[in-house]
Amino acid sequence: MKYNLDKHHRRSIRLQGYDYSSPGAYFITVCTHQRECLFGEITDGEMRLNELGQIAANVYLWLAMQYSYVHLDAWVVMPNHLHGILVLTDPVGRCECPTKTHTPKSLGAGLSG
């Protein structure tokens, strides 16, 4: 996706010309829509995951089970986002690694109305 100032209201920090599908360690952040605190709350200095927070954690862990070229380093779920260090050991899309074809049943469970 190309950076579009009308859609993206902050500057891109991506390295121009870098192939983000190549092996390496990547620090990622996944935010909730409008940064709404959907994953739980911090109580007495400790993050307490609610059901959606547990789903977010499980789906993040599922990535390493689903894709043999994905390894997870340190990560944390916060009230409105998830931070993680995701390590790709092979180029994405160029690996002939077997993958499962299903997603966790809980993936959309807390989101359906």
Q: What are the pLDDT digits (tens) for 72-98?
A: 999 999 999 999 999 999 887 765 555
Rounded mean pLDDT of 2-26?
A: 79
pLDDT at 113 over 50: no
Q: How far is the C-alpha of 53 from the C-alpha of 49, rounded, in Å?
A: 5
pTM score, whole prediction: 0.72
Query: 57-68 as b/e, with b when 16 or more CB fall inside 10 Å?
Result: bebbebeeebbe
pLDDT at 110 over 80: no
Q: What are the pLDDT digits (tens) for 34-49?
A: 999 999 999 999 999 9
Q: Three-state secondary structure along 73-92?
A: EEEEEECCEEEEEEEECCCC
pLDDT at 66 over 80: yes
Q: How far is the C-alpha of 37 from the C-alpha of 14, rounded, in Å?
A: 26
Tell which wins on pLDDT, 70 or 4. 70
Classify residue 45 by its DSSP letter. Answer: T
